[in-house]
Amino acid sequence: MQLQEMLYTQGFGIRRVCSGLVQQGWVQLWNPKGNEWEQVLDSTLEIDTEGLRFKVQGVEWAYHQLGYVLLNKPAGTECSQKPSAHPSIYTLLPPPLRQRPNKGAIQGVQAVGRLDQDTTGLLLLSDDGQFIHRMSSPKKHVSKVYRVTCKHPVDGKQMQRLLDGVVLDDDPKPVKAAACEQVDSHVLDLTLTEGKYHQVKRMLAAVGNRVEGLHRWKMGGLVLPQDLAPGQWRWLTAEDLALLKPGK
């Protein structure tokens, strides 16, 4: 793959822009044999992308054929490219992640499902359409665990109703929690395998309670890292992706 083409696939702009970055001396490649960074001025240089590390304008990147990203979503942000009242989560990501091309169009990574503006925690983003579908489809039964802070004390009767299933106003079929564990008098961990509009809030309302705080901290076997502060992101590793397979 030519260097300018690699930069294009990684979201650094159209090919002409990527070629200009190289020709202006803004791109460096890591030479593992020499254990040093080397400036490259030939945008048509053929490179091997396996294990590739490179710098653009002094910022280091690693090559990713497809992007899989974990974001610790802060409160007061919307999972939309065109937010209505709050900042978009996409403003928390660097431009290359927002500009990764997909099927000839500049689309960038997309949120895997959505969290309400006041909901915090684990949010996945990707430019892999099959991955997004697999993580979002209720048929795949990928579990999502929410730490729910309630206005009123949680009792055993409410928890059992959540497990047995409650009817929401737009769906006659009962919606069940896959698991429900009390953490404190007003706090529980609720596990779901499907996602409906305001589902957790509506389920708690159906059993006579009210959600005061909502934080997603686990998907499948993947737990939100404690050292990832609200608003921060990181690439998902192969180990992370393995933890997101159905059944984990």
Which DSSP category does 77 fall into?
A: -
Token pair belonging to 197: 């509009």
Nearest-5° angle of CA 115, CA 120, CA 124? 60
Contact of 223 with 145, CB cutoff 8 Å: no
Active-site pick, 42, 48, 116, 164 = 116
Query: Is 227 a known active-site residue?
Result: no
Q: In degrees to the nearest 10, what's the CA dihedral of 16, 235, 108, 5?
A: 20
* DSSP state letter for 228: S
Q: Which of 86, 70, 87, 11 is nearest to 237 (CA)?
A: 70
- Cβ atoms of 6 and 63 within 8 Å: the answer is yes
Residues serving a catalytic function are 116
